[in-house]
Amino acid sequence: KSDAKNSGGAETTMEAEADSAGDNEKAGQAKESIPQDDNVTIIKKKIAPAKPIPFINIMENGKTITLGYQLSVDRRTLRRNQSLLEFHKWLRIHTDCGHITRQETVSMIPPVVLNAKEGMSVLDLCAAPGSKTCQLLEVVGGGLDNNVTLEPTGFIVANDADSKRAYMLVNQLRRMNSPAVFVTSCDGQFFPILDAKADKGTEREGMFDR
């Protein structure tokens, strides 16, 4: 499933081709089937509105604002269903602009468990393709606060050992248009940690908060 930060629901009509009536029964999703000829069947299905994801939210002025929604249709249906064409175009436009990030719900969990805060420094050693990094960047870079006018105080170093995947990561992060991220490509076990000599062996050793 794909996720977005905006929701909507609509009653749609999907056209599907089936070789036999048995194939239509296997689909198990049809509320009403109207045979047109031997090869084409019109299948009507009511699509439920997007559901808010409870753990993707922020507090603002004492109120909880939901930032994540789970769609009730799969990616294949979203692309091929003509009645969802305008919604699919809307998703693509806002994704390319960096207004929303589409990802699986399960991939949203690690950044939440990490509990990063605004102003923190974060090292992501296996960052590609970048959906989790974008999610973290919104937090540490202060992108969720509409009142922020200064440069971000937190940052992310996003690394991937595979140069091709690192290239994908750059394209993904470019949508965010944020100065708070730096992309590298090297083996994580040899990633350099630049510590002052006085910090060695102390609680200040290591330059990343997460």
Q: CA-CA distance, 20 to 41, in Å (whole number)?
A: 10
Q: Which of 9-18, 75-84, 103-112, 151-160 comes out lowest in average pLDDT?
A: 9-18
- pLDDT tens across 50-85, in order? 888 888 877 777 888 888 888 888 888 888 888 889
CA-closest candidate to residue 180, choices 125, 131, 129, 119? 119
Lookup: tokens for 170:
């750059």
- pLDDT tens across 103-123, in order? 888 888 888 898 888 888 899
Cβ(133)–Cβ(169) below 8 Å: yes
Range with the largest mean pLDDT of 12-21, 26-35, 143-152, 162-171: 162-171
Cβ(156)–Cβ(138) below 8 Å: no
Cβ(108)–Cβ(68) below 8 Å: yes
CA 147 to chain CA mean position, Å: 23
Q: What is the mean pLDDT of the chain?
A: 76
The predicted pLDDT at position 204 comes to 66
The predicted pLDDT at position 158 comes to 93
Cβ(155)–Cβ(184) below 8 Å: no
